[in-house]
Chains A and B, each alone.
Chain A
Amino acid sequence: MVKVYVPVDSTALSLGAERTAQAIVAEAQKRAIPIELVRNGSRGLFWLEPMVEVATAQGRVAFAPVQPKDVPGLFDADFLNALSDSAKAHPLYLGLTEELAWLKKQQRLTFARVGVIDPVSLDDYLAHDGYKGLKNALAMTGADIVKTVTDSGLRGRGGAAFPTGIKWNTVLNAPAEQKYVVCNADEGDSGTYSDRMVMEDDPFVLIEGMTIAGIAVGATQGYIYLRSEYPHALKTLNEAIRKANLAGYLGEDILGSGKTFHLEVRRAAGAYVCGEETSLLESLEGKRGLVRFKPPLPAIEGLFGKPTIVNNVISLATVPIILDKGAQFYADYGMGRSRGTLPIQLAGNLKQTGLVELAFGATLRALLYDYGGGSATGRPIRAVQVGGPLGAYLPESQFDTPLDYEAFTKIWAVLGHGGIVAFDDTVDMAKMARYAFEFCAVESCGKCTPCRIGSTRGVEVMDKIVAGKNHTKNVQVLRDLSDTMLNGSLCALGGMTPYPVLSAINHFPEDFGVSSKEAAA
């Protein structure tokens, strides 16, 4: 029976993958052709979804984008015999998936299985190197596991880029009867979806990473704090956790090791600030998500006052391959102090949007044009926001910056969670600056004044600028306000809202009605 793959990833579904799958099954039935339909994750070429793949002796062959109306024609072209001349002649035929240039040039480590396997098949996971990292970890001491993660150079992918191994070491050395591993799956940044893809398309890799973390530091309970906007991820994670428990990969006496790790998904409730780790912990404890003062660090006093690892989905999902292939294997990728790979998410006004995992060091320009294919509208790309709503806007003159934490810091920008949102030349940067303040005002937890009051004040000042009032003076007011927020906020929501605002003024002063000289004043 021929295997046919149609993704269940929610972005593929958002473009009609479910109907495509149904149409294929119905057409096969009508023609009395037996097929085996596999619902895989997405390969991440979202501009080509729904992508249908057909298994052949040479590998999987892709046809895309396939809408229900295309299905009878595909059958007429004998697409199930995907190496046939008639299949190759079909307009949607793309060739062997693995040979597609967009995919072939990537360095997929964390995303090695994403789009390849059936997300909730443990057998599929095991057949594709799954749980090799855990097996190695079970034969190591906690300290050795932590050292491996430290030596890999892995830094937190949630935004702050703090070395993961160092955080784990603090938890390892904090004496306590109960410790926790918390996965930050609140992915609230616009332009990001890599966490969602891991959870929907390869959930076992996150479960494995959290299990290794628990075993390393002696934590027996884990929580995944999942944003409420991701109902598909919730279903997939719960199904994978159920299967992992049944097969002895979670729960008590994991694989006969005597080690225990329980895992549970908890739903967030639509507050962006709850992605901040201490706000997240408050929320997990059942409280309002007010940001906590630090110290104490969550690694010392975290969930319910106990030592807690809080890591992003991608950080945790990268741990299995490090434990499988070794610290050096991972550290060999990357540049400078940014080791390994970054799953980059292309979003906004780009022709070819999707997930690109590459070693650190590729330039923004390569991502925007070689992968992104330029703007979707065909107009010039004018501004690019990297790193979510608290990230700076970059003009064309900065497109040659390599994707590297330190290189971005140097130009007063952030890589954050690796989201890249492109805007064409119709964008009004004053509007975007206003939106940054508005977003901060909507999402502020209210604990400190610069953020709570400053954001609302920022919206008012922007309204004056947009209305054409006293530009020079109001731009100065914005700078002073930004200074106060930068220096006086308790967390990065208030503290980094000035990044999009000031970068917009600095690089695009004309949109604020001032000359670059006045903007620099």
Chain B
Amino acid sequence: MDNTLSHEQLVQIQAHIHAHQHVPGGLMPLLHAIQDDIGYVPESIYPDISKALALSVAEVHGVVTFYHHFRTHPVGKHILQICRAESCQAMGSEKLESEVKARLGVDYHQTTADGSLTVLPVYCLGNCACSPAVMLDDEVYGRMTAEKVSELIGEVCHG
């Protein structure tokens, strides 16, 4: 038992496992479903997943860790992804990333002290026509500057 998970979360997870048990190639959609609800994929549930999907725990672990998108630890309430790829570099993303990180006082993969925001690198958001781009939760923002990112964070995370 993982006592960092609430009873409600455990119920949610079990429901997802049940729903994906017989889906062909169901592990990926299952991991997405869990992370969408809980915010990460807790390692404590690998045994349950492995039993239901007839995989070894090592296989489940291997899949979770292969993909950049999946996380095994809780993150902040909101997620800011800063694009590091070429088109955004051509429009000054390097300056943007260092300024944003400095303002927030965190590096990539870290969460602000108040737990409100985790900052992640991303390689292209498909918004290359309006570089540099960032994504805050599920929304993309183009032609960003550090000031604009600060404003956004203010509105979305503290608004």
Q: Which residue of B lies closest to A193 (CB)?
A: B126
Q: From A229, A269, A270, A284, give the contact of B126 (CB < 8 A).
A: A229
- Alpha-carbon distance between A271 and B91 when the two chains are bound, in angstroms: 24
A266 pairs with B25, CB closer than 8 A: yes
A46 vs B131: C-alpha distance when bound (angstroms): 11
Question: Which A3-54 residues have a C-beta within 8 angstroms of B?
Answer: 10-11, 13-15, 46-47, 49
Binary B-proximity of A156-181 (CB < 8 A = 1, otherwise 0) = 00000000000000000000000000
A203 to nearest B CB, angstroms?
15
The answer to the question of B127 belonging to the interface, with a C-beta cut-off of 8 Å to chain A, is yes
Bound Cα distance from A10 to B124, whole angstroms: 13
A288 on the B face (CB < 8 A): yes
B residues less than 8 Å from A272 (CB atoms): 123
Give the B interface residue count (CB, 8 A): 43
Contact stretch, chosen from B1-9, B10-18, B64-72, B109-117: B64-72
A193 close to B128 (CB less than 8 A): yes
B156 is an interface residue with CB less than 8 A from chain A? no
Q: Which of A46, A271, A442 contacts B66 (CB 8 A)?
A: A271
A188 located at the interface, meaning its Cβ lies under 8 Å from any Cβ of chain B in the complex: yes
Q: In this assembly, does B145 line the interface, its C-beta being within 8 Å of a C-beta of chain A?
A: no
Cβ-neighbour of B62 out of A46, A230, A288, A385 (below 8 A)? A288
Please give, as numbers and ranges, the residues of chain B lying within 8 Å of A435 by CB-CB distance. 86, 89
B42 at the binding interface (Cβ < 8 Å): no
Contacting A269 at CB < 8 Å: which of B59, B69, B142? B69
A284–B53 Cα gap in the complex (Å)?
15
* Bound CA–CA A124/B120 (angstroms): 39
With A271-B68, A419-B128 known to touch, is A389 a contact of B86 (CB < 8 Å)?
Answer: yes
**Does the CB pair B127–A270 fall under 8 Å?**
no
Docked complex Cα distance between A439 and B139 (Å) = 24
Looking across the interface, which residue of chain B has its beta carbon closest to that of A196? B126
Interface residues on A, range: 35 or more
Contact status B126-A192, CB under 8 Å: yes
| Interfacial chain B residues near A347, Cβ < 8 Å | 87, 90, 128-129, 131
* Minimum CB–CB distance for A125 against chain B, Å: 22
Cβ of B130 within 8 Å of any chain A Cβ, yes or no, is: yes
| Stretch of A102-110, A294-302, A420-428, A463-471 on the interface side | A420-428
Tell me if A201 is interfacial: C-beta within 8 Å of chain B: no
Contact: B135 with A229, CB < 8 Å?
yes
If the complex has contacts A191-B128, A272-B123, A285-B25, are A14 and B142 also in contact, measured as CB distance less than 8 A? yes
A456 within 8 A of B: no
- A284–B23 CA distance with the chains assembled, in angstroms: 11
A187 and B126 contacting across the interface, CB-CB below 8 Å: yes
Chain A CB within 8 A of B78 CB: no
Question: Which of A207-215, A329-337, A348-356 interfaces with chain B?
Answer: A348-356
- Which residues B80-107 have CB closer than 8 A to chain A? 81, 85-91
Q: Are B128 and A421 in contact (CB under 8 A)?
A: yes
The residue from A49, A193, A427 contacting B90, defined by CB atoms under 8 A apart: A427
The 5 closest A-B pairs by CB, nearest first: A286-B27, A269-B67, A190-B85, A270-B69, A348-B90
Show the binding face of B for A, using Cβ within 8 Å: 24-29, 31-32, 53, 59, 62-63, 66-70, 81, 85-91, 122-131, 133, 135, 138-143
Q: Can you spell out 9 A-B residue pairs with CB atoms less than 8 angstroms apart?
A: A10-B140, A193-B128, A229-B125, A269-B31, A271-B69, A348-B90, A421-B86, A421-B87, A422-B90
A residues touching B (Cβ–Cβ < 8 Å)? 10-11, 13-15, 46-47, 49, 187-193, 195-196, 227-232, 266-272, 283-289, 304, 345-349, 353-355, 376, 385, 389, 419, 421-424, 427, 432, 435, 439, 442-443
Given A13-B140, A348-B86: 15 more A-B contacts, CB < 8 Å:
A47-B129, A190-B88, A267-B28, A268-B67, A270-B68, A285-B24, A286-B28, A347-B128, A348-B87, A353-B129, A376-B91, A419-B87, A421-B90, A421-B128, A432-B86
